[in-house]
Amino acid sequence: MQKPEPFVQPDMIFSVSDASALLKNVVETAFPRIKIRGELSQITRATSGHMYMTIKDSGAAISVIIWRGTPVPFKLEDGLEVIITGRFTTYPARSNYQIIVSEIEMAGVGAILKMLEERKQKLAAEGLFEASRKKPLPRFPQRIGIVTSPTGAAFQDIQNRLRERFPVQIVLYPATVQGATAAAEVAAGIEYFNRAGNVDVIIVARGGGALEDLLPFSEEIVVRAAAASKIPLISGVGHEPDWMLIDFAADVRAPTPTGAAEMVVPTKLSLFQELDNLWHRLSNSFTTRLTNAKSRVEAISIKSPKQMVMEQGQRIDDVSRTLSVIMSNKILSVKQKMTAVGNIENILQTKLDSLTQSVNHSEQMLNSLSYKNVLQRGYAIVRDAEGDIISRASDNKKPASIEFADGVREI
């Protein structure tokens, strides 16, 4: 770099403010736009919304300012390697120089992949990628909502493929698919279709590009909108090797925008083939059933009337024999019961004799145990006026009575 010629003479004297203003003018004139690559550190956000930080490498560090409202397409973190675009200026009050940023982007695939992996783990921990959240695609959608750029090749590819495969109505939500506002516009498109409820399935699409260009589809706002969608959503972003975080939150991931169109509707030819296969299956099933029914009919043998009468006569003979056996058994049972009734007089006499003998025995036992027998042997019983037995001399009271074997005497 050529060294500029000095334009300040050695004998010129400036005030501090003039010298600072002169230096500011020289710096801003010499560096109206510059790109710098380095690592961020000391990131702070003021209450005003402005962000202050330092960009550094192994040999130097420069102060950086991002005014509120400047697009920042990703979260700034200490240690993140970036490329900033801006202009140099000075801050006379502190006698330092700084860069006012107009654009900022990530530097290096490694830094982007690290950031994406950390974000993926965070969102996965919240359950946004769970298979249980996935919704099946409708078999025959009538209206398809597409969130993409209306001027991009992805939209044209989807239209062409849908036109070739199956006639459906397309509803486009125009959104930028690259840059600082892309993530917010894509998320707004998903939320619009869910609010309106005017489509059967949503396709979020973008053609291929560098990893940095596809970053809006890995922003949290887009991933959360896709995961929250009540309408089945297909992610068709980039090419086959490209994987954005929206792919994990979507119900289905397509390798390309064209692949998304192929997934959402069948081809006319495949439908015709499916109908043909269904017809063949129905036809074969009907033929098989008809053949089986014919075989069953042919297996039926029609008998002559004479044979049928003879068979019925044989059945009547069998029934007659069975009834004869039953009636014989019934008659025998009745006879046995009648014989038993004829012997009832003998049975009753036997029972009466047995009861009489039992009563006589009981009478003998009662007589043998009666106190009258004791009185017969010379004993007597003394009773008081109430009829209670007096068993002690001291209990003797008058009047009283003495019971002997032949009678009672009052005393």
Report pLDDT digits (tens) over 186-205: 999 999 999 999 999 999 99
Query: What is the rounded average pLDDT of the residues 352-373?
Result: 78
Q: How many domains does the chain have?
A: 3
Q: How long, in residues, is the chain?
A: 411
Is there a single domain that holds both residue 245 and residue 220?
Answer: yes
Of 245, 265, 285, the domain-final residue: 265
Is there a single domain that holds both residue 122 and residue 245?
Answer: yes
Both tokens assigned to 84: 């900033």
Is there a single domain that holds both residue 205 and residue 237?
Answer: yes
Q: What is the rounded distance in angstroms from the CA atom of residue 16 to the CA atom of residue 347?
A: 152
Query: What is the rounded average pLDDT of the residues 219-224?
Result: 94
Q: What is the rounded distance in angstroms from the CA atom of residue 204 to the CA atom of residue 11?
A: 68
Is there a single domain that holds both residue 173 and residue 34?
Answer: no
Q: Residue 348: pLDDT band by 50, 70, 90 thresholds?
A: confident
Q: Which candidate, 170, 145, 158, 167, places its Cα nearest to that of 271? A: 167
133's enclosing H/E stretch is none
Q: Are 65 and 100 in contact (CB under 8 A)?
A: yes
Using the predicted structure, report yes or no on whether residue 316 has a pLDDT greater than 80: yes
Decide: residue 39, CB within 10 A, 0-12 exposed, 13-18 middle, 19+ buried. middle
Q: Which candidate, 155, 243, 171, places its Cα nearest to that of 207? A: 155
- List 101's β-bridge partners, or say none: 86
Helix, strand and coil content of the chain, in percent to the nearest 5, comes to 50, 20, 30
Using the predicted structure, report yes or no on whether residue 107 has a pLDDT greater than 80: no
339 falls within a domain: no
402 falls within a domain: yes
Question: What order do you get walking across the sheet with 400-404 strand by strand?
Answer: 381-384, 400-404, 407-410
Q: Are 89 and 32 in contact (CB under 8 A)?
A: no
Query: What is the rounded average pLDDT of the residues 285-295?
Result: 76
- List 206's β-bridge partners, or say none: 237
Which tens digits make up the pLDDT trace of 123-179? 999 999 999 999 999 988 999 999 999 998 899 999 998 888 878 899 999 999 988
Q: Are 137 and 202 in contact (CB under 8 A)?
A: no
Is there a single domain that holds both residue 101 and residue 234?
Answer: no
Q: Which residues contact 51 (CB under 8 A, 6 or more apart)?
A: 43, 44, 45, 65, 66, 72, 76
Is there a single domain that holds both residue 103 and residue 157?
Answer: no
Residue span of the structural domain in which 155 resides: 113-129+141-265
Q: Are 46 and 61 in contact (CB under 8 A)?
A: no
pLDDT given for residue 301 in this prediction: 57
Q: Residue 274: pLDDT band by 50, 70, 90 thresholds?
A: low
257 falls within a domain: yes
205 falls within a domain: yes
- CATH at residue 197: 3.40.50.261
pLDDT given for residue 347 in this prediction: 73
Q: Residue 219: pLDDT band by 50, 70, 90 thresholds?
A: very high
pLDDT given for residue 291 in this prediction: 77
Q: Are 225 and 184 in contact (CB under 8 A)?
A: no
Which tens digits make up the pLDDT trace of 384-406? 777 777 777 777 667 777 777 78
Q: What is the rounded distance in angstroms from the CA atom of residue 235 to the CA atom of residue 214?
A: 12
303 falls within a domain: no
Is there a single domain that holds both residue 48 and residue 176?
Answer: no
295 falls within a domain: no
Is there a single domain that holds both residue 198 and residue 150?
Answer: yes
Using the predicted structure, report yes or no on whether residue 271 has a pLDDT greater than 60: no
Is there a single domain that holds both residue 123 and residue 261?
Answer: yes
Both tokens assigned to 19: 């010298």
- CATH at residue 31: 2.40.50.140
Is there a single domain that holds both residue 97 and residue 124?
Answer: no
Is there a single domain that holds both residue 167 and residue 247?
Answer: yes
Using the predicted structure, report yes or no on whether residue 118 has a pLDDT greater than 80: yes
pLDDT given for residue 224 in this prediction: 95
Q: Residue 349: pLDDT band by 50, 70, 90 thresholds?
A: confident
Q: Are 216 and 183 in contact (CB under 8 A)?
A: yes
145 falls within a domain: yes
| Three-state DSSP class for residue 211 | coil
Is there a single domain that holds both residue 150 and residue 229?
Answer: yes
Strands 233-237 and 252-253: parallel
Asked if the peptide bond before residue 141 counts as cis, ω within 30 degrees of 0, the response is no
**pLDDT top residue among 252 and 26:** 252
Q: What is the rounded distance in angstroms from the CA atom of residue 241 to the CA atom of residue 212?
A: 15
pLDDT given for residue 191 in this prediction: 96
Q: Residue 240: pLDDT band by 50, 70, 90 thresholds?
A: confident
